[in-house]
């Protein structure tokens, strides 16, 4: 079977959607021929190969409201559909610019199955969301199957609720490549612990953008004493303002953008994983699931309709507090610091939950089953 994935970007560009697209390729390329079509992060079209999967990238000349724009996109996608002749297209949403062209092209290929992998609603760009509302409903109508990363998101999305009969949950997974530990990582983690002996080590990971809620963690830190050491990994548009906000707080250390090996060392060394996202733009939280793999209790906010509170369960794998409530967040950090037995219990349950629902093996099985069921249904018609 021939499978074409259409994503906004693809590895080596790193992000939640990009990771899921790569996980799909890893799961399907063993038994099917898989190709990927996406934007290039810079000008100029490009074709390369990632783990044996051909990736065609359309040059991007600009971005508007986080949406990439390309002069060559339509021509390249049209050619790829004609030459590759896929049996199924997996389209990673949101990507409204690409959706417009895909809907147009698919009119010529009525037998091609469309799997819509719904990662999140367009929430930040309200004008863009309203403008593409009709197109989005057309896309959902055309789709043979709609995949959501959590049941929470199906119920929380006005679009998905209207197409609930087509929806199926295929949660994101923790990629096995991100769990490998060697002696150097173990030694680095031990060094971090030694340097912060007597401290409760807290770690936050993520791009410095508004929905990640890092400012609330920094504000919570102001209510804590010096027994805490808070490491914040990542960079983004808010980095300068976040550093200003934390300027006189010696408990906070900005790590910047760090490599996977260093990240694993900090995950091993920390006591509490802080995940202070505040909006539905955080649809799932792959970094959250990865931290749970390391038996770290998660500290989250309640986000209505987001999968974050599906990944980590309040009182089971971590503590969940009222959205953007800095005082409650700080109090939860104190509780996890003081009650070591409870903290370890939550951490063990966190790993158990990932092993039960969010492993790469489970993801592989589900995504292959979706394809198998979809074409079995077609044969029976």
The tens digit of pLDDT for each residue in 249-284 reads 999 999 999 998 999 999 999 999 999 999 999 999
With cut-offs at 50, 70 and 90, classify the pLDDT of residue 125. very low
What order of strands is seen across the sheet that includes strand 88-93? 46-50, 53-58, 33-39, 2-6, 88-93, 113-118, 145-148, 167-169
- CA separation for the pair 310, 294 (Å, rounded): 18
Return the exposure string of 67-98: e unless at least 16 CB atoms fall within 10 Å of the residue's CB, then b.
bbebebbbebbeebbeebebbbbbbbbbbbbb
pLDDT of residue 174: 94
Span 24-45, average pLDDT? 94
206, 287 Cβ separation under 8 angstroms: yes
Q: Say whether pLDDT at 128 is over 70.
A: no
Strand 252-256 with 228-233, pairing: parallel
- Give the pLDDT score at 201: 98
Residues with Cβ within 8 Å of residue 372, at least 6 apart in sequence = none
CA nearest neighbour of 68 among 128, 114, 127? 128
- Mean pLDDT, to the nearest integer, of 302-316? 97
Q: How far apart are CA 180 and CA 94, in angstroms?
A: 31
Mean pLDDT value of segment 345-365:
97
Sign (positive/negative) of CA torsion 21, 22, 27, 28? positive
Confidence of residue 151 (pLDDT cuts 50, 70, 90): very high
Burial class (CB in 10 A: 0-12, 13-18, 19+), 29: middle
Averaged pLDDT, 89-108:
94
CA 236, 310, 318, 22 torsion-angle sign: negative
Position of tokens 């794998």? 317
Positive/negative CA dihedral, 84, 85, 89, 94: positive
| Residue 288 vs residues 132, 139, 272: alpha-carbon distances, Å | 30, 30, 11
Residue 374 has pLDDT above 90, yes or no: yes
Distance from C-alpha of 51 to C-alpha of 17, rounded to nearest angstrom = 18
**What pLDDT does residue 123 have?**
61
Give the pLDDT confidence score for residue 131 in this predicted structure: 63
pLDDT of residue 10: 95
Q: Is the pLDDT of residue 359 over 50?
A: yes
Cis peptide before 12 (omega within 30 of 0): yes
Residues facing 54 on adjacent strands: 35, 49
Triad 177, 173, 2: Cα angle to 5°? 90
- Global pTM reads 0.91
């Amino acid at each position: 079977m021939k499978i074409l994935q259409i994503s906004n970007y693809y590895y080596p560009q790193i992000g939640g959607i990009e990771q899921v697209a790569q996980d799909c390729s890893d799961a399907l390329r063993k038994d099917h021929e898989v190709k990927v079509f996406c934007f290039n992060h810079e000008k100029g079209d490009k074709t390369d190969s990632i783990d044996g999967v051909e990736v065609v990238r359309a040059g991007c000349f600009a971005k508007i409201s986080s949406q990439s724009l390309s002069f060559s996109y339509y021509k390249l996608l049209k050619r790829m559909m004609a030459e590759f002749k896929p049996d199924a297209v997996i389209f990673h949403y949101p990507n409204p610019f690409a959706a417009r062209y895909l809907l147009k092209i698919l009119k010529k290929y009525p037998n091609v199955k469309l799997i819509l992998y719904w990662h999140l609603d367009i929430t930040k760009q309200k004008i863009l969301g309203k403008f593409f509302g009709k197109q989005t409903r057309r896309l959902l109508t055309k789709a043979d199957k709609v995949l959501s990363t959590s049941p929470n998101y199906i119920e929380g999305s006005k679009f998905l609720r209207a197409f609930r009969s087509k929806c199926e949950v295929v949660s994101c997974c923790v990629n096995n490549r991100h769990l490998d530990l060697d002696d150097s990582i173990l030694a680095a983690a031990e060094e971090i612990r030694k340097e912060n002996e007597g401290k409760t080590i807290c770690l936050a990971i993520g791009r410095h953008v508004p929905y990640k809620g890092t400012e609330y963690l920094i504000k919570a830190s102001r209510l804590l004493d010096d027994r805490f050491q808070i490491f914040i990994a990542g960079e983004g548009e808010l980095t300068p303002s976040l550093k200003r906000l934390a300027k006189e707080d010696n408990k906070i250390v900005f790590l910047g953008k760090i490599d996977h090996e260093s990240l694993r060392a900090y995950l091993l060394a920390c006591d509490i994983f802080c995940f202070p996202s505040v909006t539905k733009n955080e649809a799932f939280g792959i970094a959250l699931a990865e931290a749970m793999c390391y038996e770290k209790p998660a500290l989250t906010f309640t986000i209505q309709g987001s999968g974050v509170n599906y990944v980590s369960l309040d009182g089971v794998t971590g503590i969940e507090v009222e959205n953007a409530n800095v005082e409650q967040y700080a109090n939860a950090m104190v509780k996890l610091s003081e009650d070591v037995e409870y903290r370890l219990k939550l951490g063990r349950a966190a790993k158990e939950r990932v092993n039960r629902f969010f492993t790469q093996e489970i993801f592989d099985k589900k995504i292959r089953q979706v394809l198998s069921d979809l074409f079995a249904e077609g044969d029976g018609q």
